[in-house]
Amino acid sequence: MGLKGFVEGGIASIVAGCSTHPLDLIKVRMQLQGEAPPANQVLRPALAFHTAIGAHHHHHVHLPPPPRVGLVSVGLSIVQQDGPAALFSGVSATMLRQTLYSTTRMGLYEIIKKKWTDPNTNNMPLMRKLTAGLIAGGVGAVVGNPADVAMVRMQADGRLPLSQRRNYKSVVDAISQMSKNEGVSSLWRGSSLTVNRAMLVTASQLASYDQFKEMILEKDLMKDGLGTHVTASFAAGFVASVVSNPVDVIKTRVMNMKVEAGAAAPPYSGAIDCAMKTVRAEGAMALYKGFIPTISRQGPFTVVLFVTLEQVRKLLEDF
């Protein structure tokens, strides 16, 4: 019986992950915007990226003007530069990540929920739902972290000049190159962040979905059907976005930074350092960079996730 929750969660997550991947890619690109490019080395040494090749790149003072920021314009510029397929770069990593991370988190949540639900009332207090989400998300994140780092890097690759691109062929290639060049521990880089974010997202997403759904049904606002699922899941997506965006910006930046043997100190010594530097250089609202793509991804993602989940549950009911 326990296995079913994993299968259902896995199928729903992969469908949701693939269909919202372009939004995720745009979100990663937007979150990296405003990080100081190598040209500002003289002005803000603390934030400079010392890439090994940065030394003989003195000629890039005349950088093109920074691209317009916005969901649609970032999306369009990616398509213009690299073709529509580029919107799906790193999709193999998304699928692996959803398989590892979401399957674990959805399945565990179901199992914990069954254990903690009061059999008489068939209800579970919100605090318990949140706790279940925190645990399920944390475990899922540890399992999925390697795929997550690979995904962020594959999505960010298109921003780099050709000479500096990492050009991973696939998620397997990315993971093997990373373990070879940067050690196995690099696969868990930013994992404290992935875990925190996943705990926050899972708790806010799954618990608020259940909570909103219960509320709608109890107050008899709607019947248990598509309308309820869509409404509850969109609300859950909004809550999850607000809670997780700051952690997400930091996670994207820490996972993407280049750490090279023999190079100067890495741009960030860790999550707290990255958060401080980001806020100092770009203001507190920088932590809500990419919020529009986050909500426009988390929204549909959550909706596709739960609507698919409810359908798959119906299909597998007899098993």
Residue 183 lies in a domain: yes
Q: What is the pLDDT of residues 48-99, one digit of tens each?
A: 334 333 444 444 445 555 555 678 888 888 888 888 888 887 787 788 888 8
Domain residues for the domain of 112 are 2-57+69-318
Residue 235 lies in a domain: yes
16 in helix, strand or coil? helix
Distance CA 278, CA 272 (A): 10
Whole-angstrom distance between the N-terminal and C-terminal Cα of the chain? Answer: 9
Token readout for 41 is 């080395």
Q: In the prediction, which pLDDT does 21 show?
A: 86
Distance CA 186, CA 97 (A): 16
Residue 23 lies in a domain: yes
Distance CA 190, CA 101 (A): 15
| pLDDT mean by block of 10 residues, the chain; 319 residues | 81 88 83 64 37 42 55 87 83 83 89 85 85 92 87 82 84 89 86 85 91 89 87 92 88 79 74 88 86 84 88 83
Residue 270 lies in a domain: yes
Residue 62 lies in a domain: no
Which residue bears the tokens 């976005």?
A: 241
Distance CA 131, CA 113 (A): 10
63 in helix, strand or coil? coil
Residue 86 lies in a domain: yes
Question: For position 43, which CATH number holds?
Answer: 1.50.40.10
The tally of domains found in the chain comes to: 1
Count how many residues are written for the chain: 319
Q: In the prediction, which pLDDT does 47 show?
A: 35
Q: In the prediction, which pLDDT does 52 show?
A: 37
Residue 246 lies in a domain: yes
In this structure, are residues 131 and 204 in contact, taking their beta carbons and an 8 Å threshold? no
Q: In the prediction, which pLDDT does 59 show?
A: 47
Alpha-helical runs (H) found in 90-207: 91-97, 103-116, 126-156, 171-182, 191-202
In this structure, are residues 210 and 136 in contact, taking their beta carbons and an 8 Å threshold? no
Q: In the prediction, which pLDDT does 66 show?
A: 53
Distance CA 223, CA 317 (A): 19
Residue 116 lies in a domain: yes
In this structure, are residues 306 and 312 in contact, taking their beta carbons and an 8 Å threshold? no
